[in-house]
Structure 1
Amino acid sequence: MSAHNAHNHDGESCCSHSSTPNPYAQTLDELDFEKSIHYACLNNDINRVKTIISKKGGSVVNEIDSTGYASLHYAARKGYLDICRVLIDYGADVNAITPELLSTPLHRASTYNHSKVVSLLLSSGAKPELQDSDEIFNHKSKIGEIQ
């Protein structure tokens, strides 16, 4: 099979495409992620976060992406305090748990030493006693260190 395919009608090529994959092409999942609240949180785009919430409603803050993360996991991991506040104000579950690693937003914030986010999560009801799958790392002592 050639690396270039064309449809031919009456001797004229009307459509052609290469069967060689484009290294810059994005999958539909990647395109969907870029439009999501998760992507806006990951990139500290608070205006986009607010726009998505106003269009889709507050429940969007607890939607889980294909990796098992809620938007608060992304914002907490990056230490984006203002976005964390917005998400919590709209009902984000501060104890949301990822299916594989059992990580909460508090685990993500404490792992990266985001003390202000840790304080916000704790004051919003996050449970420091929840353990993730990484039992080597004691999040409770880490949380105590950075508070």
Structure 2
Amino acid sequence: MASEGKIKHLIRLIQEGRLSHLKEEMCKDEDGRAAVLKGRFGRSGDTVLHYAARHGRLEILKYLVDELGTNIELVNSDYKRALHEAASMGHRECTRYLIAKGARVDCLKKADWTPLMMACTRKNLEVVKDLIESGASLSLKNKDGWSSFHIACRVGDPEMIQYLLRVSSAVWDVESKINRTPLHTAAMHGHLEATELLLERCGYKPDAKDSCGVTPFMDAVQNGHVEIAKLLLEKHKEGHAGTIETLLTLGADVYARDAKGRSALHMACAGQHSKCIRQLIAAGLTDSTDDSGTLASHLLKKPEALKVLDDFTGCK
């Protein structure tokens, strides 16, 4: 029976991609070879295929599968397969090899994650393309109701988002189990360019609420993404008076400023949103300058917005 030290040595050779040494050790130690090929190691219960795929060792994958007959559908403790590993780490050649050998392209690991979902967690556009062109489904969701498009929007890569929209023009029309849209996700994680793209290309309502009543605007403000909050305000012609009221109730920081020193009052004034201006001043936010020396009140143009100044002396 192979010792623990021997098995660790063989696994290390796989991780390091030392194929010739691995073959030599496997040939002279049948017990070690059998133990390594059949074993599951570490806390995750990984197999030799998991190690090879995770580290992008294509030649070792070929050796294990083509020469030693290792089953490409072996799972670890989380039901993750080698294809999950290769896709999530962006190892394109390993991904393509496993698919060519018949790996199930929509196999599920724990929590119902597919290889495509895992590829979308990183900026692995080429791997994403390979999976989709091999039949990977964009409609599948994980246990939380997240689709691959949700996950791509969490990463916020505009190129990947555009590609997925080209593949399926309706891919955006999806919600998680708590009614969160990919727009919520992009706004929450501060991806301005992705948010702009979603608002331009998709049919999202900027004030759409999830099951807890949270809108993309609220996600942006609560996470300090002021530019995204401004963008969402501009897209909502009537302003977000109801949203601001909810945010204030939740204890949001009314004094938060963006990188240019602009407050929420600057943004409300720039958008001529009278109700928002009134609420922000009532909450204690006073007129002040941004980093360029511009007062929020300098941005007012519409008569109904200018009239707000007459009601609150603190903003004169």
Q: TM-score, normalised by structure 2?
A: 0.36
- Once the two structures are TM-superposed, the CA of residue 27 in structure 1 deviates from its matched residue by 2.8
- Does residue 134 in structure 1 map to residue 229 in structure 2? no
Work out which of the residue numbers 34, 44, 55 in structure 2 matches 1:24.
Answer: 44
Task: Check whether the contact 1:110–1:146 (CA below 8 A) recurs between aligned residues.
Answer: no
| Residue aligning to 2:299 | none
State the alpha-carbon separation in 1 of the partners of residues 182 and 203 from structure 2: 8
Identical pairs, percent: 21
- Once the two structures are TM-superposed, the CA of residue 115 in structure 1 deviates from its matched residue by 1.0
Task: Check whether the contact 1:63–1:70 (CA below 8 A) recurs between aligned residues.
Answer: yes
Task: Check whether the contact 1:76–1:108 (CA below 8 A) recurs between aligned residues.
Answer: yes
- Does residue 145 in structure 1 map to residue 230 in structure 2? yes
Work out which of the residue numbers 119, 123, 126 in structure 2 matches 1:44.
Answer: 123
State the alpha-carbon separation in 1 of the partners of residues 144 and 129 from structure 2: 22
- Pair 1:29–1:124, CA change in 2 (3 A): farther
- Once the two structures are TM-superposed, the CA of residue 126 in structure 1 deviates from its matched residue by 3.3
Q: Please list the CA deviations of residues 66-121 of structure 1 after superposition, one character each: whole Å capped at 9, or x if unmatched.
A: 3321111111111111111111111152131011x211110000011111111111
State the alpha-carbon separation in 1 of the partners of residues 44 and 215 from structure 2: 41
Task: Check whether the contact 2:174–2:181 (CA below 8 A) recurs between aligned residues.
Answer: yes
Q: Please list the CA deviations of residues 20-58 of structure 1 after superposition, one character each: whole Å capped at 9, or x if unmatched.
A: x8413133533375451101110211111000111106x
Q: Give the unaligned 5+ runs of structure 2.
A: 1-33, 36-40, 46-75, 88-114, 221-227, 233-316
| Residue aligning to 2:200 | 123
Larger RCO (CA under 8 A, 6+ residues apart) = 1
State the alpha-carbon separation in 1 of the partners of residues 153 and 163 from structure 2: 12
Correspondence list, 1:1-147, <5 A? 22-25=42-45, 26-27=76-77, 29-31=79-81, 33-34=84-85, 35=87, 36-56=115-135, 60-91=137-168, 92-99=170-177, 101-128=178-205, 129-135=207-213, 137-140=214-217, 142=220, 143-146=228-231
- Once the two structures are TM-superposed, the CA of residue 146 in structure 1 deviates from its matched residue by 4.3
- Pair 1:24–1:123, CA change in 2 (3 A): same
Q: What letter is aligned with 2:209? A: Q
Higher gyration radius (CA): 2
Higher strand share: 1
Task: Check whether the contact 1:72–1:94 (CA below 8 A) recurs between aligned residues.
Answer: yes
Task: Check whether the contact 1:76–1:117 (CA below 8 A) recurs between aligned residues.
Answer: yes
State the alpha-carbon separation in 2 of the partners of residues 138 and 64 from structure 1: 21
Q: What letter is aligned with 2:128? A: V
| Residue aligning to 1:4 | none
Q: Give the unaligned 5+ runs of structure 1.
A: 1-14
- Pair 1:130–1:104, CA change in 2 (3 A): same
State the alpha-carbon separation in 1 of the partners of residues 128 and 210 from structure 2: 27
| TM-align CA RMSD | 2.8
- Once the two structures are TM-superposed, the CA of residue 132 in structure 1 deviates from its matched residue by 1.1
Q: What letter is aligned with 1:53? A: I
- Once the two structures are TM-superposed, the CA of residue 145 in structure 1 deviates from its matched residue by 1.9
State the alpha-carbon separation in 1 of the partners of residues 212 and 185 from structure 2: 12
State the alpha-carbon separation in 2 of the partners of residues 117 and 29 from structure 1: 32
Size of the aligned set, in residue pairs, is 128
Higher helix share: 2
